[in-house]
């Protein structure tokens, strides 16, 4: 499926709505609720089996997703602000809560994500941070160096504030 170009137009959903998806352990979508399909302008059939990154907006810094994957693969939950992209290139912001799912033997067999409308005041702090992190990633000699540099930049910010990532997200 071809990636759309960002339109710069923002989509919205109700504060009462929850976007829900489930993936397998590799991040391929196994379940998408109606709200997820509606906001992303995809049918359920278009989403099932696709990598969750189908929604990735190019404005998102890679270090945020690296942190997300590090957390959930280690069995921890994470809350994160994410800018997603709909099928037509429009974007929408979410506050995502991602948790691992387990099989009967206690092994991680997938992930579950609930997403809500984020507070606009939080986005006022997140958007410039993400722009800075993305600029750091793009200015590096290669993708790996860019990811390492933006991750270090995020770590330095948290250290400067004297809080961890979770405290930062909840302080916004």
Tell me the average pLDDT across 92-121.
97
Within a domain: 157 = yes
What is the CATH classification number for the domain harbouring 99?
3.30.450.20
* Higher pLDDT among residues 4 and 84, named by residue: 84
- Report residue 123 CA to chain centroid gap: 14
Q: What is the pLDDT of residues 114-140, one digit of tens each?
A: 999 999 999 999 999 999 999 999 999
152 pLDDT exceeds 90? yes
- Report residue 140 CA to chain centroid gap: 22
d(CA 152, CA 67): 12
- The pLDDT of residue 3: 83
Tell me the average pLDDT across 137-144.
96
d(CA 10, CA 48): 24
Question: Which of 85, 80, 172 is CA-nearest to residue 120?
Answer: 172
Within a domain: 5 = no
Within a domain: 160 = yes
pLDDT-based confidence at 77, cuts 50/70/90? very high
Reading the block at residue 3, the tokens are: 């990636």
Within a domain: 32 = yes
Reading the block at residue 134, the tokens are: 């993305």
Within a domain: 73 = yes
Within a domain: 1 = no
- The pLDDT of residue 2: 75
Within a domain: 40 = yes
Within a domain: 9 = no
- The pLDDT of residue 1: 66
Number of domains in the chain: 1
Q: What is the pLDDT of residues 48-57, one digit of tens each?
A: 999 999 999 9
Pairing outcome for strands 29-32 and 78-85 = unpaired
- The pLDDT of residue 131: 98
Domain range for 112: 19-171
Mean of the per-residue pLDDT values of the chain: 96
């Amino acid at each position: 499926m071809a990636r759309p170009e960002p339109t710069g137009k923002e989509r919205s959903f109700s504060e009462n709505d929850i976007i829900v998806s489930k993936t397998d352990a590799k991040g391929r979508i196994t379940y998408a609720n109606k709200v997820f399909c509606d906001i992303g302008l995809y049918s359920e059939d278009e989403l099932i089996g696709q990598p969750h990154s189908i929604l990735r907006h190019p404005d998102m810094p890679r270090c945020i997703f690296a942190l997300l994957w590090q957390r959930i693969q280690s069995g921890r939950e994470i809350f994160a602000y994410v800018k997603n992209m709909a099928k037509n290139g429009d974007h929408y912001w979410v506050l995502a809560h991602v948790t691992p799912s387990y099989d009967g033997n206690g092994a991680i067999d997938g992930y579950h994500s609930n997403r809500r409308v984020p507070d606009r005041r939080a986005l006022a702090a997140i958007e410039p941070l993400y722009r800075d992190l993305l600029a750091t990633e793009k200015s590096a000699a290669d993708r790996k160096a860019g990811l390492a540099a933006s991750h270090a930049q995020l770590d330095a910010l948290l250290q400067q504030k004297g809080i961890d990532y979770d405290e930062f997200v909840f302080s916004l």
